[in-house]
A = this chain, B = another copy of it.
Amino acid sequence: MLVTLTTDFGLSSRYVAQLKGVLYSRAPGVTVVDLSHEVPPQDIAAAARLLEAAAPYWPAGTVHLVVVDPGVGADRPIVVIEALGQRFVGPDNGLFGWLDGQTDSIRTLEPQEIQPAGDSHTFHGRDLMAPAAALLLTGTPVAELGPPHGCLTMLPQQDGPTAGDDRIEGRVVEVDRYGNLITNIGANLLEDAPRDERLRVTLGEHETFGLWRTYAENPPQTLVALVSSGGMVEMALVNGNAAEMLAAGVGDAVCLDWTARD
């Protein structure tokens, strides 16, 4: 019985302390794992990106409880989803749009199917979603938690990268703790591009040549481009912080261009 938590509550908040209490009370013996409680407040897209990156590595049967819920108490429904052999519980506000086309079942949580943990209008994570997750963990099938749900809410479409014959333009979508700049340019777009010094990667006034396999092939403080562990083009400063050195961040344009092979 494995349940992960992804919220914007702050790790040390009373909200997390209460949520976990409900889970341990209602699903004795459960293993609760924090994915993140440091999602930027109300940043649904950030939570969705984290889940999308992590879920493929988790075992079948895992329940993912996701509470980034600026619309709590309004009419946004809570959904219970079966997908990837796993289960997902949270508000249908875009958090789960990335699962579109991969779901086996989507249900609208029906509060009378569960025993709420409280009657607040501002903390459905504790009062409705955690009890629903606990029911899933203790054997209740998804289908018993409510009626079939329509389409999942999608997040506003982000501009994808644009690819030409000898260039691709994208942007930085994430900066990790090392200051690595991860772009929205998938390595699969580079099939026709050279990976050696004929490939130029540009961010503002900064440029680097070639796609390296790993950080350690170049001396410290070299600006390099490589393919991230998630399969995206990434700019990094060897043993340093590229985001600081380049004064770059999320949203900045990154351009790849190359001379065609002979």
A10 in contact with B177 (CB, 8 Å): yes
Whether the pair B72, A214 counts as a contact (CB closer than 8 A) is: yes
Which of B33, B123, B216 is within 8 Å of A74, CB to CB?
Answer: B216
Q: Is the CB of A50 within 8 A of B17?
A: yes
Contact of A33 among B20, B54, B228 (CB under 8 A): B20
A39 partner residues in chain B, CB cutoff 8 A: 12
Q: Is A239 an interface residue (CB 8 A)?
A: yes
Give the segment of A24-32, A102-110, A161-169, A248-256 that binds chain B: A24-32
Q: Which listed segment binds B: A113-121, A139-147, A191-199? A: A113-121
Partner of A14, one of B4, B31, B53: B53
* Option from B55, B72, B179, B216 in Cβ contact (under 8 Å) with A216: B72
Inter-chain CA distance A227–B142, complex, in Å, is 32
Give A1-41 interface residues, CB cut-off 8 Å to B.
Answer: 2, 4, 8-15, 17-18, 20-22, 24-25, 28, 31-39, 41
Residues of B close to A228: CB separation below 8 A: 120, 122
Chain B CB count within 10 A is highest, among A10, A24, A71, A239, for A24
Chain B residues, Cβ within 8 Å of A38 = 11-12
Q: List 19 A-B contacts (CB under 8 A).
A: A8-B177, A10-B177, A12-B38, A12-B50, A13-B176, A14-B50, A15-B176, A17-B53, A20-B33, A41-B179, A57-B117, A70-B216, A70-B239, A73-B215, A74-B214, A76-B216, A120-B228, A121-B213, A121-B226
* Residues of A in contact with B (beta carbons under 8 Å apart): 2, 4, 8-15, 17-18, 20-22, 24-25, 28, 31-39, 41-42, 49-50, 53-59, 62, 70-74, 76, 117-118, 120-123, 126-127, 176-179, 213-217, 226-230, 239, 241
Given contacts A120-B227, A122-B226, 5 further A-B contacts (CB under 8 A): A17-B53, A25-B59, A73-B214, A120-B229, A122-B228
Across the A-B interface, give the 7 residue pairs with the lowest CB-CB distance, nearest first. Answer: A73-B214, A21-B57, A74-B216, A123-B229, A12-B36, A17-B54, A10-B177
